[in-house]
Amino acid sequence: MSFKNPIRPSEITPEHIYNDRRKFLKSIAIGLGATALSSMAFAKVRSLDNIVDSDLSIGDKKTSFKDITTYNNYYEFGTKKTDPSEYADKLTTDPWSVSIDGAVKKNKVLSIDEIIKLSSLEERIYRLRCVEGWSMVIPWVGIPLRSLLKHVSPTNNAKFVKFTTLNRPSEMIGQRYKVLDWPYVEGLRMDEAMHPLTILAVGLYGKVLPNQNGAPIRLVVPWKYGFKSTKAITKISLVEKMPETSWMKAGPSEYGFYANVNPKVDHPRWTQATEREIGKGLFAPRVKTKMFNGYEKEVGYMYKNMDLKKYF
């Protein structure tokens, strides 16, 4: 991207969302307090204890804490990349609980502390990619999702895992506008959810997860695009049929259920063959996107007999 031929917001965002974004921005008085990027949110950040290093981490240079926490996709707070860091500090995340139900032998309602105690709290350095062609390398802190799923004993009818997020427009101001069908819903196939790379993140850079990054608990699936990693989870349901996710509803021809990083399959309106690494400047050369985000060896077997152009 260059300043001579900039990409317009309407070219990287579905048109109906772009138009609603313009209405959203007009409705908000953006003063000095709003433009001071997440100063209040940063003040609340505290360190996590008893973190162990994970052998599943990549060795890439980490993106800075500032970039990770001020350049975000989180439509519950607005569609501009800086909106989450400006508005998310209003979100109340304590107390918080997550309900787990559906095709399980034990329905549960667990606090964040109870979820953390199910497994060792690990730091895992993963790459997060966005379908718009940018990426970050983030040192997440979390536990394997499979630790939680094993705790509730899935039945044979559990084929998929459905994630439902918080719906609180009084604090999540982006939800006051129908840019998506709230609450945000995502899903994984059961084998994807049970894979050791898939985690429930509660922190980053050794600190409690900032609100703009999905506090207090979010999904991280490193071989998929970032929109698959749903934030502020309140409910996890094990189901027999594939759930219809929020982005599938919003743009079924553009966003499929799987959302695997696949440089061979372009988004209908932009290429996914290359990416821009956040933190390296606008003029840094774009790099080639790796299949399955570089995790082909670890996860490729799950899609061996699938047509990845059909199941995108």
pLDDT in the model for residue 14: 54
pLDDT in the model for residue 203: 98
Question: 152 exposed, middle or buried (CB, 10 Å; 0-12, 13-18, 19+)?
Answer: buried
The CA distance from 124 to 62, in Å, is: 11
Cβ contact 135:276 at 8 Å: yes
pLDDT in the model for residue 46: 84
pLDDT in the model for residue 208: 97
pLDDT in the model for residue 281: 86
pLDDT in tens, the chain (312 residues): 332 333 333 334 554 454 554 444 444 433 334 333 333 344 456 899 999 999 999 999 999 999 999 999 999 999 999 999 999 999 999 999 999 999 999 999 999 999 999 999 999 999 999 998 999 999 999 999 999 999 999 999 999 999 999 999 999 999 999 999 999 999 999 999 999 999 999 999 999 999 999 999 999 999 999 999 999 999 999 999 999 999 999 999 999 999 999 999 999 999 999 999 999 988 889 999 999 999 999 999 999 999 999 999
108 phi and psi angles, rounded to 5 deg: -140, 150
141 phi and psi angles, rounded to 5 deg: -125, 125
Nearest to 146, CA basis, from 59, 70, 238, 232: 238
Nearest to 63, CA basis, from 218, 276, 257: 276
Token pair for residue 41? 């949110």
- Whose structure tokens read 């997060």? 128
Q: Considering the domain 49-64+93-168+182-303, what is its CATH architecture?
A: Alpha-Beta Complex (3.90)
pLDDT in the model for residue 196: 98
Q: Residue 47's CB: how many other CB atoms inside 10 A?
A: 10
Angstrom CA distances, 177 to 38, 77, 234, stand at: 22, 10, 21
| Single pTM value for the model | 0.86
| Half-sphere exposure in the Cβ direction for 287 (13 Å, CA) | 15
Token pair for residue 22? 């313009």
